[in-house]
Structure 1
Amino acid sequence: MLDDLLSLIADGRPFAARMFIDGAWADPSGLGVDEVEDPATGRVVATAPRGTRSHAEEALEAARRAQPAWARVPAVERGRAVLALADAVRAEAESLARIVVLEQGKPLGQARGEIGATETFLRYAAEWARRIEGEILPSDSPEEEVWIRRLPHGVVAGLTAWNYPSALATRKLGPALVAGNAFVLKAHEFTPLSGLALAALAERVGLPPGVFNVVTGDGRNVGRALVEGADMTTMTGSTRAGREIYATGAAGIKNLRLELGGKAPFIVMEDADIGRAVEAAVAARFSNCGQICTCNERMYLHEAIADEFLERFVAAARALSIGPGMEDPDLGPKVSGGEVEKVEAMTAASIEAGAEVLLRGGPLTEGRYAHGHFMAPTVLEVRSDDLPVMRDEVFGPVVAARRIGSFEEGLSLANDTGYGLSAYVWSRNLRRVFQAAEGLHFGEIYCNRTNGELVQGFHTGWGLSGLGGEDGKWGFDGYLRKKTMYVNWA
């Protein structure tokens, strides 16, 4: 399978992908298929099997058979297996990056960064192999102790989004495997190739059959079956999808970790370093064509610096290069035509409702852009948050700004949302930084910097942005469950 994927990169030949179940590549014959489209050209580059509930159940059963033996492998050996996979990712990094560009569309430099993160997630998870700790507590009774052990859940299902198809997979896979779980990945229908490439590398390094499985298909069939059958589900995706998973898991009281949408406020005060703030705001809005859950979604600018900030921000947005990801522009295409239509409808409705246009981009449909899903940046200014671009997650190269008169006003407007993933604060005033830490109702706050969480941190959302979290010691601990033993030797 990996050779087929590499051939796809080398000569552009479309091929029929297969699912990876119990250490073997499943025959997709007789199934419907989902077409994998190059967002820059609209060309179909591959097909992936439209899996069924039975395929999900087969993968879960393979994982359940393999997991007890995998859990008995010493944790340090499990860590070495994950390190071997990280080495394989590094060895094939350029090809993996080009696969990401081909199916997802992002600029090549950003795709290389994603594969770097793919490797880092695996390496960091492996470091926890010697840190799986229990506890011994004193009892209330004589000749007795209380033992608390940390043990794997069993079978973990991972459902990933299309915006980071490789990194999101290993963000979940690495800690799940090191903790002693077996793993079933459902790769998104738009971007299944990156997950299948990871399966091919897992096969290459000799990961035991059934420990890592990859199935393809839609969420309502394959995804639902995985949530119902797995011991734990970890998902990155939209709030809409998160609600469906939450409802599905309720019947079995399932252990769920949901990293969902965001509506990040970007607050800039009068004492901020305007040059750095503009640079950060541009990066946080337009990286990956705005398709990041931590993106700068709405800007609150102190009235004393708003004119200068907006002038510089609009100039920087206008100067961004746009083109196919393989050319490594500033802005690649959106992932699909449907995504372009969604963002454009939201933008048009906001303009009709009174948003002032500072820069009008929108869909690009002529010349070299005619067959892809390209959008030029749009920048709006608003006087109210009661517009779609201020209330709903845009997930595209469109951003609106609103002027504020005080830091307290900025905090109040920032918190006026159901989302609670990420927020940005720009101020040299340490008191304001501490006020933000206390007063912003978000799981992750960037102070005087752009987005990009670190692997040793904890990426978590509040409210409509999800449950649980990933990364760091708290993220790793989520892949373990606790068992308490009362040991009496009287």
Structure 2
Amino acid sequence: MPSQTRYDLFIDGAWRKPTSGKWTEIRNPATGDVVGEAAKGQEQDVNAAVEAASKAFPAWRDTPASKRADALYKLRDLVARDKETLARTITSEMGKPLKEAQGEVDFAISLLRFAAENTRRLQGEIIPGERPGEKILIDRIPHGVVGAIAAWNFPLALCARKIAPAVAAGNTIVLKPHELTPLSGLALAKLVEEAGIPAGVINIVTGDGPEVGVPIVAHPDTKLITMTGSTPAGKKIMAAAAEHLKEVRLELGGKAPFIVMDDADLDKAVEAAVMARFGNAGQVCTSNERTYVHEAVYDRFAEKLREKIKALNVGDPMDPKTDMGPKVSEDELKKVHEIVEKAVSQGAKLEIGGQRLKGGIYDKGSFYAPTLLTGVTHEMDIARNEVFGPVLSLMKVRDFDEALKRANDCRYGLSAYLFTKDLATILRMTRELNFGEVYVNREGGEEPQGFHHGYGESGLGGEDGQHGLEAYVDTKTIYLNA
């Protein structure tokens, strides 16, 4: 992506200057270079976007589902066409390795495809009435204007995850990409324009949370709020939406337990544990945050794990040989380092990493070393609070009972992992492990036809699949008589 690319706001099918007259520089976290500028939106811009979305809604609502599907298929084809350019944009603004960014684009394509395929599967019901000849119809209708807020860790996929089901269901949308990584969402807006999707159906307003996010949530004409981000931010959004009793869908933080039993395939488990912790530099809500290993295989697992972590190649995210890139920003790097220091002060043993990397390319970016902590106890802060960085906490458990107890003693409930060959253990997990999404004998990574959701402080509602799509419609009950 060329440096100094300046984006305006995408409102009502056109590119508009921000009312602030200001743009924010977006820097590459690997090099510190400016890779683009995004408009600094304000409440007036949000108001204009919501007005455009409201105006476009009746016609889009009444557009046949097949035509809405055609629009999404066209957008999907354009994203596929520009896969390499979009992947490089993701890497340049967010820092994830290019091969992971390419995977993110593939996921965005899959999300658009699923939504397009299912526009005609939002079906109603017909129920016999109590009066002669009466039918009770349960219709599925779009909400109206959807307000969407995306996180920075998957800057393209999270925008697609909001846009695709919203417009498939007949809504219009005003979306705010994260202020750290807005360029991927704006690149998607260019493809929305090229796809010929009607003006006002999809609007992209960039800017900070207080200036853009808060007005989106507070606007009386946004009927559904969908947000991916931190738990503290989600709580604020829910409180703000309460004034108008809006429906809110929140995909928030996680503290995924990674449970390895004594009968597990250790090579497969180690591979998955590393992928689930150090992929995207640990900046994933489904990351392996707590690794619980049965005492009978703990030493062997730990040895294999050390070797795997030490072999990780941290460097230029554009290099295909790179396994892990930088943290997204200096502030995020400092947060992770403070968490590691606190863990060590509480008695954890630092075996690998535990510091920012220095020298050469590392001096230009926000690189943190892949880190392994052992001797972690469940009472330590690092075992209870989300790290969101490349730090693996390894803990020994006596049996599955202890693993379950430790895993469930958590305010989060998004994702979990289990490695075992025992069917009885797996069946018990389905009843007793309190997480909305569990990966059994595999690494993480949700599918567009699944349902990505959590319990507790991991959020409300969910994303993806038929259940996620149905969140974007409301119901209307009609007692039909001649």
What corresponds to 2:77 in structure 1? Answer: 87
Deviations 1:278-332 (A, max 9, x none): 0000000010011100000011110000111011111101110011211130001
SS at structure 2 position matched to 1:137: strand
Letter of the 1:485 partner, please give it. Answer: I
What corresponds to 2:128 in structure 1? Answer: 138
What corresponds to 1:120 in structure 2? Answer: 110
SS at structure 2 position matched to 1:272: coil
Letter of the 2:337 partner, please give it. Answer: E
SS at structure 2 position matched to 1:103: helix
Q: 2:246 aligns with which of 240, 254, 261?
A: 254
In the aligned structure 1, how far is the partner of 2:79 from the partner of 2:392? 35
Deviations 1:174-220 (A, max 9, x none): 11111100011101100111111111001111111100100011112
What corresponds to 2:65 in structure 1? Answer: 75
Is residue 319 from structure 1 mapped to residue 311 from structure 2 by the alignment?
yes
Alignment map for 1:298-309 (pairs within 5 Å): 298-309=290-301
Q: 2:87 aligns with which of 94, 97, 107?
A: 97
In the aligned structure 2, how far is the partner of 1:252 from the partner of 1:214? 23
What stretches of structure 2 of length at least 5 have no aligned partner?
none
Q: 1:340 aligns with which of 329, 333, 338?
A: 333
What stretches of structure 1 of length at least 5 have no aligned partner?
1-8
What corresponds to 1:210 in structure 2? Answer: 200
Cα contact 1:347–1:388 (8 A) shared by 2: no
In the aligned structure 2, how far is the partner of 1:92 from the partner of 1:367? 32
SS at structure 1 position matched to 2:205: strand
Shift of 1:366: 2.1
Shift of 1:357: 1.8
Is residue 379 from structure 1 mapped to residue 391 from structure 2 by the alignment?
no
SS at structure 2 position matched to 1:364: coil
In the aligned structure 1, how far is the partner of 2:358 from the partner of 2:199? 46
Shift of 1:383: 4.6
Alignment map for 1:57-456 (pairs within 5 Å): 57-229=47-219, 230-328=222-320, 329-456=322-449
How many residue pairs get matched? 479
Cα contact 2:17–2:39 (8 A) shared by 1: no
Cα contact 1:376–1:397 (8 A) shared by 2: yes
SS at structure 2 position matched to 1:399: strand
Letter of the 1:353 partner, please give it. Answer: Q
In the aligned structure 1, how far is the partner of 2:143 from the partner of 2:375? 48
Shift of 1:360: 2.5
In the aligned structure 2, how far is the partner of 1:473 from the partner of 1:209? 27
Is residue 473 from structure 1 mapped to residue 478 from structure 2 by the alignment?
no
What corresponds to 1:3 in structure 2? Answer: none
Letter of the 2:424 partner, please give it. Answer: R
What corresponds to 1:4 in structure 2? Answer: none
SS at structure 1 position matched to 2:318: helix
Q: Identity of counterpart residues, as a percentage?
A: 48
Cα contact 2:26–2:37 (8 A) shared by 1: yes
Letter of the 1:162 partner, please give it. Answer: W
In the aligned structure 1, how far is the partner of 2:373 from the partner of 2:122? 49
In the aligned structure 2, how far is the partner of 1:178 from the partner of 1:432? 40
Cα contact 1:354–1:382 (8 A) shared by 2: yes
Shift of 1:31: 2.7
Shift of 1:143: 2.1
Between stretches 356-365 and 264-273, larger displacement belongs to 356-365
Shift of 1:487: 1.2
Letter of the 2:201 partner, please give it. Answer: V
Cα contact 2:19–2:44 (8 A) shared by 1: no
SS at structure 2 position matched to 1:297: strand
Q: 1:46 aligns with which of 36, 40, 59?
A: 36
Cα contact 1:266–1:281 (8 A) shared by 2: yes
Shift of 1:428: 0.5
The alignment's TM-score, normalised by the length of structure 1, stands at: 0.96
SS at structure 1 position matched to 2:326: coil
Deviations 1:313-369 (A, max 9, x none): 111011100112111300011100000000000000100110012212421132221
Cα contact 2:19–2:42 (8 A) shared by 1: no
Shift of 1:141: 2.2
What corresponds to 1:21 in structure 2? Answer: 11
Letter of the 1:168 partner, please give it. Answer: L
SS at structure 1 position matched to 2:292: strand
In the aligned structure 2, how far is the partner of 1:59 from the partner of 1:196? 15
Q: CA RMSD in A?
A: 1.0
The alignment's TM-score, normalised by the length of structure 2, stands at: 0.98
Shift of 1:13: 2.8
Cα contact 2:241–2:248 (8 A) shared by 1: yes
In the aligned structure 2, how far is the partner of 1:140 from the partner of 1:126? 37
In the aligned structure 1, how far is the partner of 2:138 from the partner of 2:319? 54
Shift of 1:236: 0.6
In the aligned structure 1, how far is the partner of 2:371 from the partner of 2:379? 18
In the aligned structure 2, how far is the partner of 1:93 from the partner of 1:400? 35
Letter of the 1:365 partner, please give it. Answer: K
Deviations 1:196-254 (A, max 9, x none): 11110011111111001000111122111111221111111100110110111011111
Deviations 1:9-59 (A, max 9, x none): 1xx431322110001101137433322110101112222122111111110
Letter of the 1:373 partner, please give it. Answer: S
SS at structure 2 position matched to 1:89: helix
Cα contact 1:459–1:471 (8 A) shared by 2: yes
What corresponds to 2:26 in structure 1? Answer: 36
